Structure 1
């Protein structure tokens, strides 16, 4: 499937990097300062200087004139600053911000500080999707990759460890997000089912309108479909 090809490369890279980050976690905790509210606040297209002005977590030094990536020097939440589409994540240990010169152009992260049990992982996924729904983001490619839900069907799907749950979201013509939930083998908890969430955010990069015109391809592991009449963004309580 077209969309899952792009996911596999990103997922593998993220898993490898997260393993490295987790291996260094113990040493990092010994040196991590006590920040009252560690946040990286930014906007896609915003500058490094603007990010640092509004953030409370320390961050990599600016590298001008290059395409480069930086990370916070402590666990931090991501706050996307936008009057219409803004949202916030839980604390993250892996949070990478990509820059072109000093301008933010991509975010890749895992909104958690360790692999989570399924109850906690589902809570994070459902909360992020609810934030996007409330702010006017639209789920994309729902025929192939419907929005995830905390249901027995979705839990059984990701528990197989064959494919991850994936949902795609778009905020007007400003942003796209790819959210993934996958089973993760955690050597520290070999007898537990742990899960990894990954999030990619950038300006729109997937041509969903063109993809929707393509015929459906056979899928041997189709994700759970929403119940008849269900909507990925239910009406928000007033």
Structure 2
């Protein structure tokens, strides 16, 4: 094979490889993100069917910790009180003895976040709750998380602010931000958001202002 023919063949191979790489990248980009779609009280089996996620098959051994193995967005699909979270690396469901989901816990992030980003995520989630007519309760001691110097200082100091929300007489949410310490970040700081969602029995707002 002459050098000219060899070079032509190599260029053809390179073009094919490049084309396959481009197609692969487009397929990855077009693939929908994992998503868990549910309302509290739904059958876990139905939730698995309507979601695109790595939620496991329900067994008697795993019903208290049904967690995704790949990050997934939570779409809380109640028609009145629905909201959507960013993708969560940690998302775990709890199913009762009848196989219905009674509670979930998630951290709506795929990695621990700088303070600015963590506060932004928390504020966005609270804005969604307000628009969906959730009501903040126990606000004297647990005000909503806000992007203010005082709130940021409290989060930075390790006060771990937590806020509570009610959706009529149907659901409750707690949301908090905690400082996450690790020597691997040197002088950097990272923060972890935790959201818990459940149905009755609900908290009361008798201490609310």
User: Considering the TM-score relative to the shorter chain, is it more than 0.5?
Assistant: yes
Matched, 1:212 2:187: no
5+ residue gaps, structure 1, are: 1-33, 214-238
| 1:187 to 1:114, Cα distance in 2 relative to 1, 3 A | farther
1:175-186 → structure 2 map (5 Å cutoff): 175-186=171-182
1:128-167 → structure 2 map (5 Å cutoff): 128-161=125-158, 163-167=159-163
Aligned match for 2:84, one of 85, 88, 92: 88
1:39-118 → structure 2 map (5 Å cutoff): 39-64=35-60, 67-101=63-97, 102-118=99-115
Give the Cα–Cα distance (whole angstroms) in 2 for the partners of residues 67 and 75 of structure 1. Answer: 19
**RMSD in angstroms over aligned alpha carbons?**
2.0
* Partner secondary structure for residue 158 of structure 1: helix
Give the Cα–Cα distance (whole angstroms) in 1 for the partners of residues 47 and 131 of structure 2. Answer: 24
CA deviation after TM superposition for structure 1 residue 66, in Å: 7.9
CA deviation after TM superposition for structure 1 residue 62, in Å: 1.1
Matched, 1:199 2:180: no
Give the Cα–Cα distance (whole angstroms) in 2 for the partners of residues 76 and 59 of structure 1. Answer: 10
CA deviation after TM superposition for structure 1 residue 113, in Å: 1.1
CA deviation after TM superposition for structure 1 residue 74, in Å: 0.8
8 Å CA contact retained: 1:147, 1:167: yes
Give the Cα–Cα distance (whole angstroms) in 2 for the partners of residues 64 and 48 of structure 1. Answer: 13
| 1:187 to 1:67, Cα distance in 2 relative to 1, 3 A | same
Give the Cα–Cα distance (whole angstroms) in 2 for the partners of residues 57 and 207 of structure 1. Answer: 31
8 Å CA contact retained: 1:40, 1:72: no
Structure possessing the higher radius of gyration over alpha carbons: 2
8 Å CA contact retained: 1:67, 1:98: yes
CA deviation after TM superposition for structure 1 residue 212, in Å: 2.0
CA deviation after TM superposition for structure 1 residue 186, in Å: 2.9
1:21-36 → structure 2 map (5 Å cutoff): 36=32
8 Å CA contact retained: 1:166, 1:178: yes
* Partner secondary structure for residue 127 of structure 2: helix
Aligned to 1:218: none
Deviations 1:31-77 (A, max 9, x none): xxx66320011110001122112211121111159852201121111
Give the Cα–Cα distance (whole angstroms) in 1 for the partners of residues 130 and 47 of structure 2. Answer: 25
TM-score of the superposition, structure 2-length normalised?
A: 0.80
* Partner secondary structure for residue 131 of structure 1: helix
